[in-house]
Amino acid sequence: MTIALASDHAGFSLKTGLLEYLKEKGIPARDFGTFSDERIDYIDYAIEAVEAVLRGECDRALLVCGTGIGMSMVANKFRGIRATLCLDEYMADMSRRHNDSNCLTLGGRMVPLDEARLIVDTWLETVFEGGRHADRLKKIEELEIKNFK
């Protein structure tokens, strides 16, 4: 599984730590920036990472801004992206089991690196349950088709 990583300035430090962590785990990752803590717009970096997922170059995206909110708002504008803001391992677990999350968003000002590592582990390892949850995701997909055509 290849992960597309991106952050803004507020998420830069956490993204850097998580990139290192993925490397340690032997998980391929592509870093779409930003590459410093100079102030930029999270939107532009989210787009790059999410589009790499939609093109099939990466399997999932991991996006970090100050709160994780802005990144999730941008990512969820893209049809086929199921972005979930997770503040703890429980949310990460549920985001996979019930929501089939393919985009994790984190807040660099919300969670320390050690907690973020656990969230990422859970998000990477937990399997989607399907069944009634797949039916619900289908309804969301239908909404995307209806609202974005």
Shortest reach from residue 137's CB to ligand RB5, in Å = 25
- DSSP letter string, 117-135: HHHHHHHHHPPP--THHHH
Q: How long a stretch of residues is the chain?
A: 149
**Number of C-beta neighbours around residue 147 at 10 A:** 8
Active site residue 103: no
Q: Which is nearer to ligand RB5, 58 or 107 (CB)?
A: 107
Active site residue 65: yes
Whole-angstrom distance, CA of residue 129 vs CA of residue 114:
27
Task: Strands of 15-114 (E only): list them.
Answer: 29-31, 60-65, 83-85, 103-107
CB closest to ligand RB5, residue no: 70
Q: Which is nearer to ligand RB5, 52 or 75 (CB)?
A: 75
Residues whose CB falls within 8 Å of the CB of residue 114, separated by 6 or more in sequence, listed in order: none
Q: Which is nearer to ligand RB5, 7 or 95 (CB)?
A: 7
Q: Which is nearer to ligand RB5, 70 or 123 (CB)?
A: 70
- Please identify which of the residues 9, 58, 86, 98 carries the catalytic annotation: 98
Shortest reach from residue 69's CB to ligand RB5, in Å = 4
Residues making contact with ligand RB5 (CB under 6 A): 8, 10, 42, 65-67, 69-70
Shortest reach from residue 115's CB to ligand RB5, in Å = 17
- Please identify which of the residues 9, 58, 65, 86 carries the catalytic annotation: 65
Whole-angstrom distance, CA of residue 68 vs CA of residue 46:
11
Q: Which residues are identified as catalytic?
A: 65, 98
